[in-house]
Amino acid sequence: MKREKSPEKVKAGKAVLVLEDGTFFIGKGFGAIRKVSGEVVFSTGMVGYPESLTDPSYYGQILTLTYPLIGNYGVPAYDYDEFGIPVRFESIGIKVTGLVIQELCTKPYHWASRRTLDEWLRSEGVPGIYGIDTRRLTKKLRERGVMLGILQVCEEGKEPNIDRLLEEVKSVPDPNERDLVSEVTIKEPVCYECDGRVRIALIDCGVKAGIIRCLLKRRVDVVRVPYDFSADEILEYKPNGVLISNGPGDPKRCAKTIEAVRVLAEENVPMMGICLGNQILSLAMGGDTYKLKYGHRSQNQPAYDLETGRCYITIQNHGYAVRAESLEKTGLKCWFINANDKTVEGVKFKNGPSFAVQWHPEASPGPYDTEFLFDEFLKRAEKIG
């Protein structure tokens, strides 16, 4: 009888990334030996791969990192703060479907490193490919737009069946047609108590841990609720304000969240939206959203304040945007635009306490220049206290 190899002893061999347009890239595999499909996207961030890989906004996506060397400072341990929030990650567990990089570092050096990137991906069942021309891949995604793809890592000594994969990729399901937020939100409310001066209800659409950390360090109580909670269920906690988090996928799939936010707006509850939250707030007020060609995924997106003329460098991770002309029929006005492509980067009520931004003011990774927005939100929430 032939004995099967244990997963720990099976080595990764060749790997292939196949795109829906028929392009394929052959490289070396790392991480888990398996085949996955998803939306292939790219991020131009130079650092922060532990945070990016655990960002729930990447759920359903095969992430390409354009920076050439990845893994050089290893992967830290899953440590938690006093509230049970991960200290160095944005959630517990890798959320990307697969990872694409140019060069893999197998001998990292950093005081907090506990394992290699290869070991981390393998332990969580996530495949990766390296040794391909990520510049060529990124240029293709910029020209044609994000595409569906298949990433397969083979066992050492085995060959991927390219012809079969090229046929299979034609029928890969689009993850954006699923309600991805329902797959990353919490199932039951969680309370973080710190005898705070105000209480904030956090609608979890796939919230990054950095957002929770930014609230808690300001000594406010946080009630984290599932994305499909109704306005009445949220108001039972008597919050002074509501924060609508980031998350993956098409915002229009979040019908229950949109309806809850619409009712909360009628009740004049101060709200702050982040990333997906910006789109949900706009949809709730009668605006519209659309899919960007290749999205904004980087740590240097310029957000221009239309009121002050000041430009902030921000971290972003989104594939959808608010349609600017749709705001004319709403009670919202455009607050920020992207200095590169003039897309909507932030909205605020013309007459009301709520606002939202398309970027991540909590950073993790990225610049902390706009963390003051949390203070502005809490200032508005305190008036309700």
Phi first, then psi: give them for residue 265, nearest 5 degrees: -65, -40
- Rounded-to-integer distance, Cα 258 and Cα 254, Å: 6
* Residue 110 annotated among the catalytic residues of the structure: no
Q: How many CA atoms lie within 13 A of 130 on its CB side?
A: 17
Single out the catalytic residue among 39, 318, 345, 360. 360
Token output for 258:
């949109």
Single out the catalytic residue among 214, 275, 296, 345. 275
Cα–Cα–Cα angle for 4, 7, 126, rounded to 5 degrees = 140
- Rounded-to-integer distance, Cα 208 and Cα 318, Å: 13
Phi first, then psi: give them for residue 189, nearest 5 degrees: -60, 145
- ω into 175 cis (within 30 of 0): no
Single out the catalytic residue among 20, 90, 345, 362. 362
* Residue 360 annotated among the catalytic residues of the structure: yes
- Rounded-to-integer distance, Cα 347 and Cα 278, Å: 7
* Residue 275 annotated among the catalytic residues of the structure: yes
- Is 280 within 8 Å of 258 (Cβ atoms)? yes
CA neighbor of 91 nearest in space, from 243, 248, 198: 248
Catalytic sites, residue numbers: 275, 360, 362
